[in-house]
Structure 1
């Protein structure tokens, strides 16, 4: 599936239009969900100018000056990942570690045709981190960002599929993509393409449903399971891959089962031993099934879901010096806001977040609810003591941060 697109820019957040439409697809969230999400590949030409997110200069900065360690970088050539020891070395005086990136080794490998894969850029490069956080908030699924830097006329990986959805953003250069329909639709996290090498290799012989050269500003969306391979053209290619680690119904079933099993730990009969001389589950499985079904019907797996979801991401950055200044200078007119990406959830009088939990007296709950809308507030509006407590906990930040 392919659609044209005009020049797109960030929209005003208050308009309710996010990066999915303005930077990636030209489609509203409703249109994307109805026509594309988890259904089909989508190529969007000239979706946006991504020079604000990443660049060749960013690659050089990260690999030569940031002191990155593995696993923040992989190196691949001819379809295989090279050993980490081949591109890392001791860090030198003042850093007693042995696995920092060796920029000389990386240069030699790159010049010899290897692809550099900068992983988890949502942790190491600010513009990509901010963009990934916005996209994750819109989609409701965690987002990981990797950059692939491929020399001219080379390919890093053979035909394969991913176990997560991806958005491919072409940053610099050009890359030819061959995309084919799945041999195993909607694979789970523990169902990698290597389990189906034969089927993947056979499918790769067939005609591609998308055969296109991506140029700077183009975006390709692939649902998990869709086969793909890419090759750089006549110059260095840099593209970002935003991996969407989708929640599935199977994952919810796993969490429901975990909650039910936790419930059964308090059932004395379920903790009891099987009879002596038992030669199998016959005569026991019916009572176990009955108790398990009852537990599944009874338990609420939502707390486990929210706890797991909080653990899959990190809160927005917090500067300790700016935070101390905000606490020391706190007054009624001080402007504060909820820290980003906290996954904050108020259940009764307890606020659970990615930085811990807090309990509140009933009198403070209306102010906490107001704070959760994300709008800028004054400390006087929330209450000075409450604002200070939330600043010290890392839940509120100064509005200018």
Structure 2
């Protein structure tokens, strides 16, 4: 028996902070299709809890930020790291920490500060990004752009990932133009279409707007954009979303074809690769073999231990093969809720009837019942417990999916269904130690 996992909730609370329309409408009309400008008045709140000008100063002066977590740009050109970094001094013998003096000098001269990877550095954004990933089902990361007055930042360009722009402080004038290369892949940067980008940037923009604190903007990948700070320092967050594509589905399928003998065979001796007509019968035959292979994918019993297979996985099932491979890739690209080692060890030592625990946030897993064991399979491990723990595991997992939102998914050990207190303590201790559960309170 398998318990299937749903990702996110109907409300999609993190996503709803960034868009002025209902999530279903956004998914239908905007995701990967059209930009969406969301004024602060149409959003549930501002972004002051996520980031601020004070946070920028703290990161530069007190957090020992190093490259590549910080970079700077002037008039569209990236500065050499030596222009804004310096050795850390005694006790921190590194050569690329942000130098507050150099950063100040470059910023005062008009350079933009870019703080990268804030989803790994700044606690409010660590939590927000993890929840947003739950909502959208694609990996995401966060950068901050701190632009002095009247600086134009980067020239018109497009990104190879979707972005949500969240205006934190100041004002920034954005100009958005239609794509010249729709839905670009990672290996199709805007520089490959530089002339077309420059021509399109001369046309009237699709969106010509000033973003003020609390405003948000969604841009699908490929849409051209440029921005200029107005009247003072501007701070905005760019949430980059690395959307999986149909090309990823094709790659996942094609990656299985090395197990097909007919497709491993050598091309004919003396084949003329420069003659399309000579190759045509061979290509037609290979395409036919490819179609046959994709409808009879080899048995996947060799699934690596760190790959999360979907519920009901069956051999020779193309959808299951794609799901397994993309789920493994997603798990590699994202992180579940961080664990607190000291607090967890202390909680384990103090477990009692009134101790509360919950499922670790954003932890991808499947739950299987096999014989006398219940197994929790995560991207990094499989944890097996006696079958008697099934109801408790199910209750905890349902809380993570929002079925017990009133208590945030927390369950006290006294309320573990199907277990007495002694067994509940054993199960909680094991799952806390394995990083499946986290303590509450």
Same fold (TM over 0.5): yes
Alpha-carbon distance in 2 for matches of 1:155, 1:224: 21
TM-score relative to the length of structure 1: 0.88
State yes or no: 1:346 paired with 2:362: no
Paired position in structure 1 for 2:413: 379
Paired position in structure 1 for 2:195: 198
Kept in 1: contact 2:253–2:294 (CA 8 A) = yes
The verdict on how the C-alpha distance between 1:81 and 1:33 changes in structure 2, with shifts beyond 3 A counting, is same
Trace 1:240-255 onto structure 2 (pairs within 5 A): 240-255=237-252
Give the C-alpha shift of residue 275 in structure 1: 6.2
CA RMSD of aligned residues (A): 2.4
Kept in 2: contact 1:168–1:242 (CA 8 A) = yes
TM-score relative to the length of structure 2: 0.81
How many residues are aligned here?
383
Kept in 2: contact 1:316–1:341 (CA 8 A) = yes
Task: Note the residue ranges of structure 1 that are not aligned, 5 or more in a row.
Answer: 1-12
State yes or no: 1:33 paired with 2:58: no
SS at structure 1 position matched to 2:255: helix
Alpha-carbon distance in 1 for matches of 2:272, 2:203: 51
Paired position in structure 1 for 2:134: 137
Give the C-alpha shift of residue 189 in structure 1: 1.5
State yes or no: 1:42 paired with 2:44: no
SS at structure 1 position matched to 2:231: coil
Query: Which digits, 9 at most, give the CA deviation of each residue in 1:224-281, with x for residues without a partner?
Result: 11111000011000011111211111111111111333x33xx4x6556566656559
Trace 1:79-228 onto structure 2 (pairs within 5 A): 79-228=76-225
SS at structure 2 position matched to 1:234: strand
Paired position in structure 1 for 2:432: 391
Give the C-alpha shift of residue 220 in structure 1: 1.1
Kept in 2: contact 1:88–1:98 (CA 8 A) = yes
Query: Which digits, 9 at most, give the CA deviation of each residue in 1:169-194, with x for residues without a partner?
Result: 11111011111111111111111111
Paired position in structure 2 for 1:8: none
Paired position in structure 2 for 1:330: 351
Kept in 2: contact 1:342–1:355 (CA 8 A) = no
Query: Which digits, 9 at most, give the CA deviation of each residue in 1:337-368, with x for residues without a partner?
Result: 11112222336665333553334454444433
Bigger shift: residues 323-332 or 379-388: 379-388
Task: Note the residue ranges of structure 2 that are not aligned, 5 or more in a row.
Answer: 1-7, 298-320, 401-408, 418-423
Bigger shift: residues 228-237 or 122-131: 122-131
Runs of 4+ in 1 over 4 A off after TM superposition: 269-291, 347-350, 360-363
Kept in 1: contact 2:257–2:263 (CA 8 A) = no
SS at structure 2 position matched to 1:183: coil
